[in-house]
Amino acid sequence: MASIINSLSFKNFFNYYGDYDQTEYEFKEGVNIIVADNGAGKSKFFNAFLWLFYDDVLDSDDKKRKAVKDFAVKIISDKAKNETEIGENVETGIKIEYSTGRYKFQIVKSFTATRIGEKISDNESWQVVMNDIEIDKTDHILPKYKPVYDADEKHRIINQLILPTLRQYSFFQGEEVDKMIDFTKKSSIEDAVRTLTNISKYEDIAKIVEDIEAKAYKDLNKQTKQKESHNERLEDALKKREELKNSINQENEKLEIQKELYTKAQEEYELLDAKYANASKRKELDEKISIKNKTLKSASDEYQRFLEGINNRFFDGNFSWITLGFENVVEDFKNKISTFRAARYEKRTLLQVAESPNDYFTILPSNSPDAVTLQQMIDKEHCYVCGTDAPKGSEPYNHLLKLKNRPNESSSKKQFVKNDLEDFFSRLQLNASPFLNKFDSIPQSVLRTKERELELKKRLDKLSSEVKALKSQRKDLLVTSNQDEDSDPRNIINQYKGSSNRMAQASTKIERLENTLKELKAQLLATEKEITSLRPKDIPEGYSANYEIAQDLVEATNKAKERVFDKMVSLLENHANEHFQNLIKYNDIKGGVLNFDKSPSGGISLDYIDEAGNEVSGASEGFQRMKKFAVVMAIISANTSNYNYPLLADAPLSAFGKAFNKGFFEAIPNVFPQSIILVKDLYDKDSESKLTDLGAKLVKDENIQTFYLNEVDGELAQIERTTKIERRK
């Protein structure tokens, strides 16, 4: 029957302050979720199991495991330490209750610390005594706990919760999933197969039969040499056999070296696989960002220039905003200048008349009519001004002549005012003309300016949100791949290609060596046949038969071993695919299967093959982790019997994405009878329920049996801090 953890409680264990009954989680068969933000007891929860299984805890400062007895002072809740007076003592411990089909066990591991010094965080201030492990056992039929005293039985009870060999598949934190199934190590799947099958027995048998074969061969040769009838030809053949065996050994050594090279290159390749896709995407993004940034920069400059130029439109004759509301100036000035001109003209005329009353006099503006028109009037003997005839010799004709011969006014202009300002005023009017005809168009022009600004602003906003989107894509890539901001994507790309080349080279050499070996082995076989026929016929039959049977046994055992192995691999492959499909059920990944393939180095590589049969490489890290998790589940479910142990996992959901989370929670009950999942990604401190949307959905999900939310009041000083466990389901 499966082991099911019924409850876990703490006493003054890190931030889990208080007695066991104050900090208790109850769990049920099926999926149990604990949501906790960073620092809210997730790793402490794991520490409880590290203590239970290994008497260790993880030091969150250096991520190294430390023995509980050496680390005790740090394990005690600071609040509890602070409340313990000198001379008094405090107990710290963990309590786990689990049941199998028939029995229920309660395990308590604890220590007692006596305060002997002032400074509570100093090791010297405390005397620590580790308490005996207390285990109580009860039968479901007779619910009365009875203590277990026998040390071996205690040990067995602890191990039975999760068997040591299976803990690696059942008890892990975040990134450990990656290390757990490390496909770069050729042994990882083999190890899994070994854990799950009786293949080691076949290996033992193979070793025994190989020994038998060697002995049979030796005996046979001994017999052969004792017979005088053995001849030189046999001697030669035996020598040849030795030579061939030596060559085979040598080639095998070379092969091993190449396989090692291959494995190394493959390790590097696999390691860089996720990073490579990431790096090439990053490089692509970098280029896009750089181009976009340039466009953005010029758009931003243009916008800035536009804004700076807005008020310039007051003073620019093309816009003339400054004239807005000064329409009447034009009329006003026009009236004033004509009054001015009339007055000064009158003044001048009067002056002229007074000076030379008999001189030419006209009230026409000066220099009009012009000389050309005057000549025409003289020629035609007609005055265009008054429309009457002016026959030659008449008074009007003489007047025309007089006009034509009038003195050039500008040259002989007499100073009739002290300051001649006519030109000053005329020039003002003339020059200002660009500012005098825009009045009506100004409101429109202001409107157009605003529209243009809006246009520029829109373009700028669009560009800057595009850049932002690209940058956040790039940031996401960095986050999912744990890469430094500074790491140059080009280096990764080069390394990746380098390792791929080395793999190809080693692979070619391995193939060549294998061909050589094949040939050598064929020669060896032929030589052995030759030896058989050269052997004296009078050797006792038993010796030859022994040797032949031994040879057959070796071959049969090796084949059986291979078959068992291959069968298990293909079983794993089937199971892994089944789980993988469940895990990605809600992802929009099209088709595709996981493919277990023997690599040239003899390891097993795991590839993701798309519908067209092409290998999909370098998917996101979340995707890589999904693949691995599918294999972990396969290792467990491929076991012929049911898996009887709970899953304790700190799920790094952030790397997976929402769709995977949903698949994950649906898929785990298929394999693990009980799972306790700690997640921080469902925590949302800003939400009223403190849960994300997915978190809120999961509370209602019928697959989820219990649901806890841990909270720590970060506002409080460390010595006041406690973890509050709130049960939501």
Partner 1 sequence: MNSQEFRSNLLLKRPRYAKSRIPVLDAFSEKGSKTVDYSRFGPYYEIYIYAMMLGIKNKKRLPLPPRDLTKDFIEIGKWKRDSSLVDFLLMVIFTKTDELAIDWNELEDLEESELSNVISKVVSLIEEYSNGGLEYLEELWEKGELDSSHYMFIDLYKDVKKN
Q: Which residues bind partner 1 (CB under 8 A)?
A: 307-308, 310-317, 320-329, 332-333, 336-337, 339-340, 343-344, 347, 417-425, 427-429, 431-436, 443, 446, 449-450, 453
Query: Which residues have CB under 8 Å from 345's CB, separation 6+?
Result: none
Minimum distance, C-beta of residue 432 to partner 1, in the bound complex (Å) = 4
Which lies closer to partner 1 via its Cβ, residue 248 or residue 322?
A: 322
Q: Which is nearer to partner 1, 212 or 432 (CB)?
A: 432
| Distance of closest approach, residue 449 Cβ to partner 1, in angstroms | 8
Amino acid found at 613: G
The whole-angstrom separation of Cα 561 and Cα 557 is: 6
34, 59, 120: which is closest to 85 by C-alpha?
120
Among 365, 341, 330, 364, smallest CA distance to 422 is for 341
Give the nearest distance from C-beta 339 to partner 1 in angstroms: 8
Q: What share of the chain is helix, strand, coil (3-state, %, to 5)?
A: 55, 15, 25
**Inter-residue long-range contacts of 428-436, CB under 8 Å, 24+ positions, other chains counted:** 428/333, 429/333, 429/334, 429/337, 434/317, 434/318, 434/320, 435/317, 435/320, 435/322, 435/323, 436/323, 436/330
In angstroms, what is the minimal distance from the CB of 60 to partner 1?
45
Shortest approach of partner 1 to residue 456 CB, angstroms? 11
Closest approach of Cβ 370 to partner 1, in Å?
Answer: 24
Closer of 288 and 341 to partner 1 (Cβ):
341
The candidate with the shortest Cα–Cα distance to 99, out of 10, 28, 179, 24, is: 28
Cβ proximity to partner 1: between 163 and 322 the closer is 322
Residue 329 CB, nearest approach to partner 1 (Å): 5
Q: Which helix (H) or strand (E) holds 580?
A: helix 541-583
Judged by beta carbon, residue 252 or residue 312, the one nearer partner 1 is: 312
Give backbone dihedrals phi and psi of 581, rounded to 5 degrees, phi first: -60, -40
Write out the DSSP string of 252-316.
HHHHHHHHHHHHHHHHHHHHHHHHHHHHHHHHHHHHHHHHHHHHHHHHHHHHHHHHHHHGGGGT-
**Amino acid letter at 168?**
Q
Q: Which is nearer to partner 1, 250 or 311 (CB)?
A: 311
- CB-nearer residue toward partner 1: 279 or 456: 456
The Cα diameter of the chain in Å comes to 175
Cβ 411 to partner 1 shortest distance, Å: 16
Taking the least distance from each CB to partner 1, the nearer of 257 and 432 is 432
CB proximity list for 393: less than 8 A, separation 6 or greater: none
The smaller minimum CB distance to partner 1, of residues 217 and 439, is found at 439
Q: Distance between CA 171 and CA 647 in Å, rounded?
A: 6
Q: CB of residue 355 vs partner 1: minimum separation in angstroms?
A: 18
Tell the smallest beta-carbon distance from residue 428 to partner 1 (Å).
Answer: 5
- Smallest gap from Cβ 299 to partner 1, in A, equals 17
Q: Is the Cα dihedral 160, 163, 164, 169 positive or negative?
A: negative
Shortest Å, Cβ 293 to partner 1: 21
**Cβ 611 vs Cβ 592: under 8 Å:** yes
Residue 208 or residue 428: which is nearer to partner 1 going by CB?
428
List the beta bridge partners of residue 115.
126
Question: Nearest Cα to 609, choosing from 596, 626, 622?
Answer: 596
CB-nearer residue toward partner 1: 53 or 439: 439
Q: Which residues contact 190 (CB under 8 A, 6 or more apart)?
A: 603, 604
Kindly tell me which of 337 and 460 has the beta carbon lying closer to partner 1: 337
